Amino acid sequence: MADEQSAAVQNMSIGDGLDKTQEEDFVDPWNVASSSAKGIDYDKLIVKFGSSKIDQALIDKMERVTGKPVHHFIRRGIFFSHRDLHQVLEMYEKKKPFYLYTGRGPSSEAMHLGHLIPFVITKWLQETFDVPLVVQLTDDEKFLWKDFTIEEANRLAYENTKDIIACGFDPEKTFIFSDFEYIGNSRGFYRNMCRFQKLVTFNQVKGCFGFGDSDCIGKISFPSIQAAPSFSSSFPDIFNGKSNVPCLIPCAIDQDPYFRMTRDVAPRMGCMKPALMHSMFFPALQGAQSKMSASDANSSIFLTDTDKQIKTKINKYAFSGGQTTVEEHREKGGDCSVDVSYQYLTFFLEDDARLEEIKQGYSSGQILTGELKKELITILQKLIGEHRERRAKITDDDIKRFMKPRKLKYDY
C-alpha cells in the first residue's frame, strides 16, 4: 500500500507542509482550520493523508458480516475514512478476535459533544462485535502541552473517565487507564514505547508533527506513548499475555498522524499494524471552519451543560445559514451546508426521514432558523440530560472497576 512505505514517515509532514495562513485546510492533532464556511474538504484530506474512503461496498460488507444495519454515523459518512477496516471484517468473519483502542487527552473538567463522537461509535462497535476495549487517558500529554500540573492533569483524567463510563461501555470488557498510573505498572507498555522510540529518528518526528528545536523533549517522544496501546503486547495483564491481537482504532481524523507513524513502525517491531476508522469533526458553534474545542467554552457544548446553557449557546452562538429577515428567508431559503444547527442534527437526529424533511423545509424557506434551532435544542437537551444523569450516578467504585488492570472477558 502506498501509505505503508517506510520512507513515508519521513515525508508525511502534517498539513503537507502547509502553513496555517494558506488558503487550504489545516489538520493536525492540535489545530483544525478551514478557510471555507463549509468546513474541511474531507475528500482532499483522504488523498493528502493516504487513507481510504469508507465506501458503500465496505458498508455493505460490514452489514453482511455483522447481520446488523450500520450505525448512522457510518451510514451518513460521518465516519468517512479508514485504514485496513476490510481486514478487520475479514478476521471477524473467520471468528478471529480483535480489540478496540481509543482515547482522550483530559484537558477540561468535562468532555464536549465533539469528543463524544468517537466514543459513541466505539460503544456501537463494542456491542456489535462483542470485543474488548482499551481507553487511553493521556494526562501526560496534557501536562506536556498545557499549563497543568501532573496532579491537575491526572484529576481531569478521572473526571473524564466519568463521561466515558457514562457512554455505557461493558465493564467486563473495558479497561480505562491514565498514562501516569498505568505505564510504570505494565510489563509490556514501556518496553513497547522504547522499541518504538529506537525506530523513529528526530528528523522523522519533526517531519510528521512539526516539532521545532524549542519544543521540550517530552513532546518529541510522546508519539511512542500514543502508539503503544495499538499493540496488545503492551497489556499482558489485559490480554492474557497474547501479543498479536489485532487492533481497531476509532478516532477523528486529527489523530491520524500518530497512527500513520505507528503503522509504519509496527512491522519493524514485529507487531501488527492497527486498523483505523476516522470521523469528520463536529464543528464549533461559530461554524465549520474549526472543530469544537474544549479550550474555547463558547465554541462548545459540554456534556455537563444544563438545559438552559444548551438553549442559550445554540440560540446565541450557533452559526446560521438562514437569511437576515423572515421575508428574505421565506423567499430564498436557508443554506444547510453552512448552518451549524443543521449540521449538528446530521450527527444526533437519527430519523433519516425527519432529517430530510428539515433539509427540504429549511432550504425552501418553510422552516425558519428559530424553528430549526428549537428542534436541535430539544434533541440535545434530551441526549445530554440522559448523559448527565448516568454520569451523576457513577461512583468511585465504578471508576476503580474500569481502571483496574485485569484480564478482560473475552475468548482468546
Question: Which residues of this chain interact with ligand TYM, rule CB under 6 A?
Answer: 29, 101-105, 114-115, 117-118, 136, 138, 141, 226, 249, 251-252, 254-255, 279, 281-282, 291-292
C-alpha cell at 192: 513497547
| Residue 93 or 296 with smaller CB distance to ligand TYM | 296
For residue 260, give every residue at least 6 positions away whose Cβ sits within 8 Å of its Cβ, in sequence order, or none: 3, 8, 9, 12, 49, 50, 208
- Which CB atom, from 116 or from 336, has the smaller least distance to ligand TYM? 116
> Which amino acid, 211?
F
The distance of closest approach from Cβ of residue 111 to ligand TYM in the complex, given in angstroms and rounded to an integer, is 8
CB of 27 to ligand TYM, least distance (A): 10
Q: Where are the beta strands (DSSP E) in 119-169?
A: 133-137
Cell numbers describing residue 93: 468473519
Give whichever of 254 and 264 is closer to ligand TYM, judged by the CB atom: 254
> Do residues 103 and 175 make contact, with C-beta atoms less than 8 angstroms apart?
no
Q: Judged by CB, which is closer to ligand TYM: 289, or 323?
A: 289
Select 89 or 288, whichever has its Cβ closest to ligand TYM: 288
Owner of C-alpha cell 458503500:
56
Cα distances (angstroms) measured from residue 43 to each of 54, 55, 171, 317, 382 = 11, 12, 37, 28, 33
Find, among 91, 107, 111, the residue nearest to 99 by Cα: 91
Strand 52-53: give its sheet, edge to edge. 52-53, 79-83, 275-279, 247-252, 99-104, 133-137, 174-178
Q: How far is the CB of 280 from ligand TYM (least distance, A)?
A: 7
**Calpha distance 33→289 (Å, rounded):** 6
Question: Minimum CB separation from ligand TYM for residue 38, in Å?
Answer: 16
What's the closest the beta carbon of residue 327 comes to ligand TYM, in angstroms?
35
- Residue number, 281 or 365, with CB nearest to ligand TYM: 281
Q: Count CA atoms within 13 Å of residue 375 on its CB side.
A: 22
Grid cell locating 335: 443554506
Query: Cell match 451549524: residue?
Result: 340
Nearer to ligand TYM, 279 or 323 (CB): 279
Nearest distance, CB of residue 376 and ligand TYM, angstroms: 16
Nearest approach in angstroms of CB 300 to ligand TYM is 8
Residue 103 or residue 321: which is nearer to ligand TYM going by CB? Answer: 103
- Would you tell me how many other CB atoms lie within 10 Å of the CB of residue 366? 15
CB of 46 to ligand TYM, least distance (A): 16
- Residue 330 in 3-state DSSP? helix
Nearest to 310, CA basis, from 394, 390, 381: 381
DSSP for residue 94: T
